[in-house]
Amino acid sequence: MASALINVPKKAKFGDVIEIKTLISHIMETGFRHSTTGVPIPRDIITSFVCTYNNEEIFRAVLYPAIAANPFFIFTTIATESGTIEFTWQGDNGFLATASATITVE
């Protein structure tokens, strides 16, 4: 049940700076911990996050074990044209999650 919460303004004026917020559900297990019986718990983290605006990459992040569970990103971009903003999270054990939002630029 990987779920994400996305906050992108539905409408913006051309040239406006818009704020984008994303929150994804993930345990971000560091790989440095051991279970109560001493068995190492394997690393399970999100390793990359990419955001594209009409297929053009506008934001990318590389994640490491020190990032807390349920990573939250806020970043900004300039509203240039109407279209789709897509988000992709990739990680260990073949983790892949995607989400998208549409924006109308006037």
CB atoms within 10 A of CB 39: 8
Q: Which is nearer to another protein, 10 or 55 (CB)?
A: 10
> Residue 105 corresponds to which amino acid?
V
Smallest separation (angstroms) from another protein to the CB of 27 = 8
SS3 content of the chain, % helix, strand, coil (to 5): 5, 55, 40
* Site for another protein, residues 28 to 87, rule: CB under 8 A: 28, 68-70, 72
CA distance 42 to 34: 9
Smallest separation (angstroms) from another protein to the CB of 68 = 6
Can you give the binding site for another protein, defined by CB under 8 A?
1, 3-7, 21, 23-25, 27-28, 68-70, 72
